[in-house]
Structure 1
Amino acid sequence: MTIPAPPGDQNPVGQGSAAQDPWSPRPSEPAAPHWPSYPMPAPQPRNGMGITALVLGIVGVALGLVIILFWMSWLPALLAVVFGCVGLSHARKGLATNRAMALTGVILGVVGLLFAVGGGVFTVIAVKEATEHARAEADKAEASAAAEKKRKKAEEKARHLSFGAAYTFGNGLKVTVAKPRPFIPDDFVLGHAKGNKAVEVTVTVVNTGTERLSVETGLPNVNDANGASTELVIDGSGRQKVITGYVLPGKKAVGKYAFSLPPDAADKVEVEFSPDAKRWADAYWSGPN
């Protein structure tokens, strides 16, 4: 007896078994398409730091060369050193190609800093020396003013004398004023009121130089101790003599003058005299009359 085949199993023996066998090898898959390879572009070098360092270094050095601009040079010089060091770091890592430029920027930055420090030191020294010089000049001027004041004070003191003392003026005329003596005017008199007290003043001028010298102002001025002025007395006695004209070398001229003092005049009188009031300050003789 023949056993019929199960339905649906129509494939002949040996066909389709491989597809149905899970242990059979699978057919190979189609290969992926192959694309041609292209070279990747190289990264751009990061040269900005080196360029910046170089520019800032040049600016720092240029400013440092001008002494008065030293205070402006330190900042670009310092930035040049910083940026230059960053540029050198990039160059070591292969990120930059301008190592020489970055190194130059660092060097210029250091030079600029040295210029800034040197300019600062120079300025401090110059200011200190200028201040000391100004102080010395001020002290010198003050000392000179004090010496001049002292000299004038000494001259002023030297021009105040007692009756009978001599004073030599700058032109070489030595003047002596004698102590005033009582003077009695004659009946014909001008400048003397009744009740006043008249005195005679004698002025002697000696030429101590080698050339003749003129006496431009031969009249003395007489005041009492209270500052009251007196009147010049003129009478017909001929006893008054005014010094005028020239005094020859080694010679002397004597002038005699009479003055009228008010009744309440102080006992002490002062006589002022100068041979040339435009050139020489008056000398003063004082004492009791």
Structure 2
Amino acid sequence: MSQYTQQPQFPQAPTPAAQARNGLGTAALILGIIGALSGLVPFLFWLAGILGVIALVMGLAGRGRAKRGGATNKGVALTGAILGLVSLILSVVGAVILFKAVDDAVKDLDKATSSSSAGTESSDGSAKGKNKGKNSGKGAGTSGDSGADSQTLEAGDSAVYDDKLTLTMSAPAAYTPGEYSIGHTKGNKAYKVTLVIDNAGKEKFDAALVTTEARAGEEGVKAEQIFDDKVGEVFTGTVMPGKKATVVYAFDTPADAKNLVVEVSPDFSHDASQWELKL
């Protein structure tokens, strides 16, 4: 008999499979739902915008992870990204509604104050003339602060406002949307442009109110904005005096389009400016 007893062999347990990492997609869905609901309330447009950006980024990242096999909730991630985009749109609409209401209220109050002042001084012809002159001067100043050249600009041109706010649009460049992009239609072409805001004035500028729209071709077909992991960011925060802010946009255009018209509205106190870009 052998001096050493042979030890029995036991089968090794199978290596457990890697656990699916579904956190990004789930978080994107939750934030997208909250953002979309917040966007229905105009006063919460800022919250909808913040949550929309986060949900869009996390949803696209989660969908990419699912595509690579690292997660199993591809549909959830995509839904979260879509809700994030909806939240961004609702935030812009909410901001427009809220600030338009405030602007109308201020104008009505100013009109009522002016009417009351004119009625008080109506018995004195010289005082009435003086008041009329002051009101005319104030109106001209307000129009001047918001005005810019009304002509259509070209690539590389700048829209310069009287308060020294300057918008500059680059020439369009061909762009290839990412695999998980939103806003691009197969068979269409995509182009990206760069918008630079230069605040050379003395007052800070709220960049969150900037809105951009585009039309393509002779028929002026709406050019959808493209969102992916490289383009689609929106202006946020404040541009202080002497500072600049830059954002890259991408637009989806018909394959036969020869031009792209991009319109930028800085806010309610500045007129919109247009650039006609050759493709």
TM-score, normalized by length of structure 2? 0.44
TM-score, normalisation: structure 1: 0.43
Q: If you compute each CA radius of gyration, which structure gives the higher value, 1 or 2?
A: 1
